[in-house]
Amino acid sequence: MNILLEIKDLNVSFQGNETENKNENKSENKKEIKNETKKENETGTVTAVSCLSISIREKETLALVGETGCGKSVVAHAIMRLLPPESRVRGTIEFGGKNLLGLREKEMAKLRGKEISIIFQNPSLALNPVYSIGNQLAEPLRIHGQEKGKGKEKKKTEALSKVAGALKRVGFSNPHEYMGYYPSWCSGGMNQRFLIAASTILDPVLLIADEPSKGLDRDRVSELENEFKGLKEKSETALLLISHDLGFVRRLADRVAVMYAGEIVEIADTSSLFESPRHPYTRGLLNSLPERGFVPIPGLSPPLSSPPAGCRFHPRCNVKEKRCMQEHPKLKESNGRAVRCFLCP
Partner 1 sequence: MREGLKKVVRYAASFFLIVTLNFALPRLMPGDPVKNLIGEDVYVSEGVMEELRAGMGLDRPLYEQFTAYIGDLLRLDLGYSYHLHSPVADILRDRIGWTLLFVGVSVLLGTALGTLLGAYAGWKPETKANRLACCGFITLSCTPPYFLALLCLEIFAFKLGLFPFKGFYDVPTPGSIAHHMFLPVTVMALFSASRNFLIMRGSVIQEKGQLYALYARAKGLYDTSILFRHVIKNASLPIITLLALDFGFLFSGALFTEIVFSLNGMGTLIYDAIIGKDYPVLQGSFLVIALAVLLANMLADLLYEVADPRVRRPA
Partner 2 sequence: MMQEEAYVRESTIQESTIQGNTIRKNIIQENARQWKGFLAHNINLDIRRYERNLKRFNRGGLFLFTFFLILALLPVLFAPYSPTERFMPYEAPSTAHLLGTNDIGNDILSELVYGARISMMVGFASACISTLIGLMIGLFSGYFRGTLDELLMGFTDVVLIIPKIPLIIILGAFLRPSIWTLILVLGLLSWESIARVVRSKTLQIREAGYVKSARCMGFSSVHIMASDIFPNLFHVLLPKFMLATASAMISEASLSFLGLGDISMKSWGIMLSFAFSRGGFIRDMWWWYLPPGICITLCVMSIALIGFGFEGKEKENGKRGVDAE
Residues within the interface to partner 1 (CB under 8 A):
80, 82, 105-106, 108-114, 117-118, 120, 122, 125-132, 139-140, 143-144, 182, 184-185, 195, 198-199
The residue among 28 and 269 lying less far from partner 1, judged by its C-beta, is 28
> Distance (Å, rounded) from C-alpha 272 to C-alpha 285?
15
Beta-carbon contacts of 333 under 8 Å, excluding residues fewer than 6 positions away, are: none
> Distance (Å, rounded) from C-alpha 345 to C-alpha 340?
10
CB of 143 to partner 1, least distance (A): 5
- Which partner in partner 1, partner 2, none is near 24 (CB below 5 to 8 A by kind)? partner 2
Using an 8 Å Cβ cutoff, are 137 and 198 in contact? yes
CB of 230 to partner 1, least distance (A): 22
* Strands 263-269 and 337-339, bridge-based pairing: antiparallel
269 CB burial (10 A radius; 0-12, 13-18, 19+): middle
Candidate list 20, 275, 321, 327; residue touching partner 2; CB under 8 A? 20
- Rule CB under 8 A: say whether 107 interacts with partner 2: no
* Residues between 242 and 261 that touch partner 2 (CB under 8 A): none
- Which partner in partner 2, partner 1, none is near 118 (CB below 5 to 8 A by kind)? partner 1
From first CA to last CA, the distance across the chain in angstroms is 27
> Distance (Å, rounded) from C-alpha 197 to C-alpha 172?
10
Handedness of CA 18, 20, 23, 24 (dihedral sign): negative
Output DSSP code: residue 327. Answer: S
The residue among 32 and 147 lying less far from partner 2, judged by its C-beta, is 32
- Which partner in partner 1, partner 2, none is near 113 (CB below 5 to 8 A by kind)? partner 1
| Segment interacting with partner 2 (CB under 8 A) among 49-57, 116-124, 144-152, 337-345 | 116-124
Candidate list 24, 139, 158, 203; residue touching partner 2; CB under 8 A? 24
The residue among 16 and 315 lying less far from partner 2, judged by its C-beta, is 16
239 CB burial (10 A radius; 0-12, 13-18, 19+): buried
> Distance (Å, rounded) from C-alpha 25 to C-alpha 27?
5
Candidate list 54, 66, 70, 120; residue touching partner 2; CB under 8 A? 120
Candidate list 6, 11, 16, 45; residue touching partner 2; CB under 8 A? 16
CB of 106 to partner 1, least distance (A): 7
Candidate list 6, 8, 11, 28; residue touching partner 2; CB under 8 A? 28
The residue among 26 and 322 lying less far from partner 2, judged by its C-beta, is 26
> Distance (Å, rounded) from C-alpha 311 to C-alpha 320?
9
Site mask, partner 2, residues 38-67, x = CB under 8 A?
-x----------------------------
Q: Which residue in 99, 57, 91, 97 sits closest to 75, CA to CA?
A: 91
Rounded to the nearest 10°, the torsion over CA 225, 1, 257, 212 is -30
Q: Which residue in 234, 176, 174, 173 sits closest to 201, CA to CA?
A: 234
The residue among 44 and 145 lying less far from partner 2, judged by its C-beta, is 44
Q: Site for partner 2 (CB under 8 A): how many residues?
A: 22
| Segment interacting with partner 2 (CB under 8 A) among 50-58, 119-127, 243-251, 313-321 | 119-127
List residues near partner 2 by CB under 8 A: 14, 16, 19-20, 23-24, 26-30, 32-34, 37, 39, 84, 86, 120-122, 125
